[in-house]
Amino acid sequence: MSFADIVPGLKAQMPELRGHLLANQSLEELTWFRAGGPAQAFFMPQDENDLAYFLQNLAVEIPVTVIGAGSNLIVRDGGVPGVVIRLGRGFNEIKVEGGNRIAAGTAMLDVMVARAAQAAGIAGLAFFSGIPGSIGGALRMNGGAYGGETKDVLIEARGIDRRGAMRSYSNADMGFSYRHCGVPDDVIFTAALFQGRAGDPEAIAAEMAEIKGKREKSQPRNRTGGSTFKNPPGMSAWKLVEEAGCRGLKVGQAQVSELHSNFLISRDGASAADIETLGETVRARVKAHSGIELEWEIKRIGISV
């Protein structure tokens, strides 16, 4: 499937644009599931000013969708209408600051922030090494793993809203809760500042190695999207899925992992519809078995075919 090409018109309206703007760009290879349709227009801004310029000049009726590392994302097979924005090299700087602080662009992978903190002897950020995504996603979802959450270490975040205005948010402004933040969805996070504490680099490295070992032992590594469903209060999603008899369940070429039942796996030839239908089937079976309605943790975007 392909969309009407809106890129020439956008470029004509924005002669000073410096980033990459492409029509009908495939998103399949940008997701860990390796499935899904194209973006009608795909934009990778060069830096914050370029992103702000683009949004200031983009017609309000054109929808904007932001993607990150693609680690917890289903792009539906019909693709994504409007503009899909993905931050790249202009947003992946890491800087160690005084007072055991780390500044990072939101395109930077979480694990790289953990490694930079470890090298600088900054403790408290090792949990980021267990999150398979980027800092932008961690801010948007209050990403967490192995006893830590983004809300525990964030000082402030910076972003650009749909009108192209720069915004700044303190930790309190973020409205964090479990796998959620309260900042309006139209804000694109561009940078973050984190607070750690003084630590021993070797001890931090050992903590990160332990996290890596636990992940490799308990979680699938092939074409998955991370945790599929949020844990209900006081419960584990994986246990509810397993108790409902869904371990190993298949729909088309998508399968519930045999290793960890809160993970879905995309086999060769799996469509986004296979993956999403499998997730909905699991939700229905859990609801029927336990009365609990699981909530998706994986983000789903685009249109079905």
Q: Would you name the residues annotated as active-site residues?
A: 179, 227, 297
- Between CA 297 and CA 132 the distance in angstroms is 13
Q: Could you tell me which residues are beta bridge partners of residue 20?
A: 44
- Between CA 281 and CA 254 the distance in angstroms is 12
Q: Where are the alpha helices (H) located in the chain, listed in sequence order?
A: 7-13, 48-57, 110-119, 135-141, 201-218, 237-243, 272-290
Query: Closest Cα to residue 108, out of 98, 120, 95, 119?
Result: 95
- Between CA 51 and CA 227 the distance in angstroms is 30
**C-alpha R_g of the chain:** 20
Token duo for residue 221 = 């590594």
Q: How many helices (H) and strands (E) does the chain have?
A: 7, 18
Three-class secondary structure of residue 90 per DSSP: helix
Token duo for residue 226 = 């991370």
Residue 224 contacts residue 263 (beta carbons within 8 Å): yes
DSSP 8-state code for residue 173: G
- Between CA 106 and CA 190 the distance in angstroms is 5
- Between CA 302 and CA 74 the distance in angstroms is 9
- What are the Cα distances from residue 128, in Å, to 70, 72, 81, 112? 16, 15, 32, 8
- Between CA 22 and CA 88 the distance in angstroms is 15
